[in-house]
Amino acid sequence: MDMEQARFNMVEQQIRPWDVLDQNVLDLLFRVRREEFVPEAWRVLALADMEIPLGHGESMLSPKLEARIAQEVRINSGERILEIGTGSGYMTALLAKLVGTGSVHSVDIVAEFTASARVKLAQRGIDNVTLETADAARGFTGLENYDLVVITGSLPVLPESFTKHLKIGGRLFAVVGECPVMEAKRVTRLTQDTWRTDDLFETCTPSLKNAQPAEHFVF
């Protein structure tokens, strides 16, 4: 299989048509090889428009969604990023490259994912990432220390614990809702008491494990 042709097709046929036009992001997709982060059994489909199973009931996001997130979070070099949901480590690698002189702290509830990502990132010389095994689905201490929080699993509702403790000037990306109605959102804390929420695009993604459930009314 010609992986470079497949990578070109992935960018031109999946990602660019989904409004990912940031050249820095597009260039990065050629430098960080997605197939090196997927399970060996799925490597031939690493660049296909699909969610690849990782085990433990989890899966990678589709390539176009990973790229769209990387574009929409508007990363600046030197920032401190918190990623909730390390998974394969591929999104972690993209964030680490985009943040330049900054750093990424990535958290996952599955210890196997943390250990695997640590090896893959080290093998590729990505050394501005710290990894932690923890359950951060309903909040995380120290949010005020981060410029950007990226939650890679969807949330039925966005807990106040995330937005309330977000750094002033900081942004948070999350997919909120339940299939078939989910919305990718970017929340920016403007002051101590004000936030701005930008609705970015509709999608449908797997839920973050142990995420707070939505309240359903029974009539």
Q: Note the Cα 154 to chain centre separation in Å.
A: 10
pTM given for the model: 0.94
Nearest CA-CA partner of 70 in 128, 152, 144: 152
Of 115 and 214, more confident: 115
The pLDDT of residue 212: 82
Structure token digits, residue 14:
């999946």
The pLDDT of residue 57: 93
- 56's CB contacts (< 8 A; 6+ apart) are 110, 112, 113
The pLDDT of residue 138: 81
Q: What percentage of residues in the chain have a pLDDT greater than 70? A: 98
Per-residue three-class SS string for the chain: CCHHHHHHHHHHHHHHHHCCCCHHHHHHHHHCCHHHCCCHHHHHHCCCCCCCEEECCEECCCHHHHHHHHHHCCCCCCCEEEEECCCCCHHHHHHHHHCCCCEEEEEECCHHHHHHHHHHHHHCCCCCEEEEECCCCCCCCCHHHCCEEEECCEECCCCHHHHHCCCCCCEEEEEEEECCEEEEEEEEECCCCCEEEEEEEEECCCECCCCCCCCCCCC
CB atoms inside a 10 Å sphere around CB 173: 21
The pLDDT of residue 213: 83
Q: What is the average pLDDT value for the chain, to the nearest integer?
A: 94
The pLDDT of residue 141: 87
The pLDDT of residue 84: 97
- The tens digit of pLDDT for each residue in 34-55 reads 999 999 999 999 999 999 999 9
Q: How confident is the model at residue 9 (pLDDT cuts 50, 70, 90)?
A: very high
Report the CATH superfamily, name and number, of domain 3-203. Answer: Vaccinia Virus protein VP39 (3.40.50.150)
Boundaries of every domain in the chain: 3-203
Q: How confident is the model at residue 217 (pLDDT cuts 50, 70, 90)?
A: very low
Most trustworthy range by pLDDT among 100-104, 158-162, 207-211: 100-104
Q: What is the mean pLDDT of residues 81-98?
A: 98
Q: How confident is the model at residue 219 (pLDDT cuts 50, 70, 90)?
A: very low
Q: How confident is the model at residue 218 (pLDDT cuts 50, 70, 90)?
A: very low
Structure token digits, residue 128:
């501005």
The pLDDT of residue 89: 98
Q: What is the mean pLDDT of residues 192-199?
A: 96
The pLDDT of residue 215: 65
- The tens digit of pLDDT for each residue in 112-155 reads 999 999 999 999 999 999 999 999 988 888 999 999 999 999 99
